[in-house]
Amino acid sequence: MICCTCAFCLGINKKNVRFVIRNGMPDSIEQLTQEAGHAGRDGEDCVYSLYFGFNDRKFHLKNASSEDETKNLQLNRLQLVTSFCYNKNTCRQVLLAQHFSEEGKPCNKCDNCERIGEVETEIDMTTHAKLALLTTVELTDTNYNKVTLQDIADALIKKKDNPSTKLSKTNWTSFLQGMIVNNLMREEIRSEQKKGAKKFFVCNNDNEATKSIMSGSTTYFFKI
Ligand SMILES: [Zn+2]
């Protein structure tokens, strides 16, 4: 067994690696593919396991370029790998093939293939999504766009207007993270002052998905 940073992988071509275990979300699907590709080069069965959490993204967000064009590319790659990690429905091989504009067939071996047939318990949470989007607008308008995910969760648990939207703060936090994963909101990192500590702020994405949820033409399903 070898424990190493991802940089160790470069230039290593050992064919009979059976397991690659990754701790933390990679910065892109390309990085994930490159790491996974170190297992099973002899054509025999192998396993790539990825352990990740939502907050792993912060490492990559902090290290994003200060140059806008490069930063946008990096954030787009991070969003794609985040969606890949949280996807529970589509075969991993198919997702990877699609990412590289190829056609893939279900592998019948990955976690998502093994999940086929399980009862999906996502429920209609459109009312929650609307409330979260509206609350974020309210907060960003009054706080000069300096609103953290925890600020939004704090405001949401105080809302009393709709009992059906009541969630605990922990559940609202998971729900808001899900909205970021599903591209309805986004995280931005900014320095509070010159050379000050960097903070993560959240705002709504102004896209078709958010518009259709707000207009009621799309139902938002989610499982906390
Ligand atoms: Zn599969």
DSSP track, 49-90: EEE--GGGHHHHHHTS-SSHHHHHHHHHHHHHHHHHHH--SS
Output the CA 94–ligand 1 centroid distance in Å: 7
Average pLDDT over all residues of the chain:
91
Over residues 11-53, the pLDDT tens digits come to 777 889 999 999 999 999 999 999 999 899 999 999 999 999 9
pLDDT digits (tens, 9 = 90+) for 151-196: 999 999 998 777 777 899 999 999 999 999 999 999 988 776 666 6
Tell me, in angstroms, the distance from the centre of ligand 1 to residue 14's CA.
25
Structural domain boundaries of the chain?
8-86, 123-222
- Local confidence band at 80 (pLDDT 50, 70, 90 cut-offs): very high
3-state class (DSSP) for residue 201: strand
Per-residue model confidence as pLDDT tens digits over 55-75: 999 999 998 888 889 999 999
Cα 8 to ligand 1 centre (Å): 27
Q: Tell me what pLDDT residue 188 has.
A: 87
* Domain 123-222 class, CATH top level: mainly alpha
Instruction: Specify the long-range contacts of residues 89-98, CB closer than 8 Å, at least 24 apart.
Output: 89/115, 89/120, 96/29, 96/33
- pLDDT tens by residue, 95-136: 999 999 999 999 999 999 998 888 778 899 999 999 999 999
189-211 tens-digit pLDDT? 877 666 667 788 999 999 999 99
Place of tokens 């259709």: 212
Q: Do 8-86 and 123-222 fold alike per CATH?
A: no
Distance between Cα 5 and ligand 1 center (Å): 27
Pick the CATH number of 8-86 from 3.40.50.720, 3.40.50.300, 3.40.50.150, 3.30.460.10: 3.40.50.300
Ligand 1 centroid to Cα of residue 110, in Å, is 4
